[in-house]
Amino acid sequence: MMKKLEFPNAPSPCYIVDEGALIKNLEILESVRKRTGCKILLAQKAFSMYKLYPLISKYLDGTTASGIYEARLGFEEMGKEVHVFSPAFSDSDFNELLKYCNHIVLNSFSQWKHFKTIAKKHPEIEFGLRVNPEYSEIETEIYNPCAKNSRMGITLANFEESELDGISGLHFHTMCEQNSDALKHTIPYFEEKFGKYLKQMKWVNFGGGHHITRHDYDIETLIKCIDYIQNKYDVTVYLEPGEAVALNAGYLLTTVLDIVNNGMDIAIIDASAACHMPDVLEMPYRPEIIGAGKAGEKKYTYRLAAPTCLAGDIVSDYSFDEPLKIGDRLLFCDMAIYTMVKNNTFNGMPLPSIAISHKNGDFELWKKFGYEDFKQRL
């Protein structure tokens, strides 16, 4: 991370993607591709800033989607491989996806049986099944696809080996923001339940949740896991990182609007946790701010809160070396992922602008939003 980041030409609030940091992440992912021969896709659910798809396409094999709109976006803006998975497809969605996708992964044998006839008319598309190894090390239940009674993936008890004609691969996704040790521990469960079917497959998709570009990520263990499956079963491994592509590659620039006191100093900013960084409330997690510390770490502590009517629309408590003033600009870190894709206009909050800080130092304002963007959603 740069020691000092200033964007005097940026409007506030504004998402700013650091092109140099994005490239560093992409270079790490590309090195995994080159060392193993696996394929890596951008999971658009985490980062869908298609302005940067031409750059991303130089390093990755394509995109993965959770539905029609993401699939179409990947098809139109990156133009490489397009994969899609959903817990269920409608007839109309499935028929449209046939125009965009290279791989379509289904969540049940009932969906496969329903679509099999039309699927077999499209030999250019490969179809797969998502399976549930019933093992995960995710501690937060809402993010655990292998939780009890999960709708995600086919369990062994529901696996119909007589219905595999036309199926090219198996997909499992058991991770969330995790290191490669979790993948290493998962593979034996996957093999025990579904390994005997891999000899008739062309590919295995390890899903997402791999924090490959995190500073402490064990890439060598990931390499071993990929090589092991590819060599043993003669399949191609796919990975679908979302966060890892744009991890620590973006900021949210905000401005202090007012400072009030109720037992502590509260700085009201022109951005909202609920609207502009919803994972702060949903995960939850505390984003860092350039130049700030934890509460009490520095001399002046403030609670940063939004101007919405939601009482709990609070980011967190931060401390600063100098007292905050109305008009001060703050930079929240790691704001490229799950921000632009999840933001909303609750309370009529304006959407932040979107910009790129280019590697050569140039600042490019990519998009601005206004009243019509709020109104047209309604």
Exposure of 271 by Cβ count < 10 A (0-12 exposed, 13-18 middle, 19+ buried)?
buried
pLDDT the model gives residue 284: 83
- The answer to whether residue 1 scores a pLDDT higher than 70 is no
pLDDT of 180 reads: 97
Residue at token pair 């799950």: 338
CA distance 6 to 331: 9
* 1 in a structural domain: no
367 conformational bin, left if phi > 0, alpha if psi -120 to 50, beta if neither: beta
**Quick check: is 30 in a domain?**
no
Whether the pLDDT of residue 6 is over 90: the answer is no
In a domain, 130, yes or no: yes
Residue 203: what pLDDT? 98
Specify whether the CB–CB gap between 315 and 272 falls below 8 A: no
Same domain, 101 and 63: yes
**Within-domain flag for 166:** yes
Residues 8-37 have pLDDT tens digits of 889 999 999 999 999 999 999 999 999 999
Angle between helices 219-233 and 19-36 (to 10 degrees): 40
| φ, ψ of residue 201 in degrees (nearest 5) | -105, 160
pLDDT tens by residue, 25-81: 999 999 999 999 999 999 999 999 999 999 999 999 999 999 999 999 999 999 999
What's the pLDDT band for 141 if we cut at 50, 70, 90?
A: confident
- Domain identity same for 176 and 273: no
151 has a pLDDT exceeding 70: yes
Among 192, 217, 246, the domain boundary falls at 246
Cα→Cα distances 296→273, 293, 320, 333, Å: 22, 8, 9, 20
d(CA 115, CA 90): 10
Domain total of the chain: 2
256 and 233 both lie in a single domain: no
Cβ–Cβ < 8 Å for 171, 152:
no
189 by DSSP, 3-state: which?
Answer: helix
| SS3 assignment, position 319 | strand
DSSP state of 313: -
Distance CA 200, CA 234 (A): 10
In the chain, what is the straight-line distance between the N-terminal and C-terminal CA atoms, in Å? 39
pLDDT in tens, 318-359: 999 999 999 999 999 999 999 999 999 999 999 999 999 999
* Closest of 186, 63, 173 to residue 107, by C-alpha: 173
Same domain? 214 vs 306: no
Residue 8 within a domain: no
CATH number, position 299: 2.40.37.10
- Structure letter (DSSP) for residue 167: E
Please tell me whether residues 162 and 271 are part of one structural domain: no
Residue 33: inside a domain: no
- Closest residue by Cα to residue 152 from 142, 166, 164, 167: 142
Report pLDDT digits (tens) over 270-318: 999 999 999 999 888 899 999 999 999 999 999 999 999 999 999 999 9
Is 179 in the same domain as 258? Answer: no
Which residues, other chains included, contact 209 with Cβ-Cβ below 8 Å and sequence gap of 6+?
138, 173, 174, 175, 176, 177, 178, 241
Residues 6 or more apart in contact with residue 164 via CB below 8 angstroms = 197, 200
Which residue has tokens 């609030």?
13
Question: What's the CA gap between 151 and 134, in Å, rounded?
Answer: 12
- Tell me, what's the pLDDT at 3? 39
Signed CA dihedral, 295, 296, 297, 299: sign only? positive
Give the contacts of 192 (CB within 8 A, at least 6 positions apart): none
Please write the tens of the pLDDT for every residue from 244-260: 999 999 999 999 999 99
Res. 2 pLDDT band, cuts 50 70 90? very low
Please write the tens of the pLDDT for every residue from 204-221: 999 999 999 999 999 999
Report yes or no on 15 lying in a domain. no
Tokens 């529901």 belong to residue: 158
> Cα(101)–Cα(95) distance, rounded to whole angstroms?
11
241 and 282 fall within a common domain = no
CA-wise closest residue to 161 among 174, 150, 173, 170: 170
With tokens 């992922």, the residue in question is 337
Please check whether residue 208 is in contact with residue 47, taking contact to mean a CB–CB distance below 8 angstroms.
no
pLDDT of residue 299: 96
Average of per-residue pLDDT values in the chain: 96
Structural domain that includes position 287: 250-335+343-375
Q: How far apart are CA 80 and CA 174, in angstroms?
A: 25
Q: Give the whole-angstrom CA distance, residue 146 versus residue 135.
A: 6
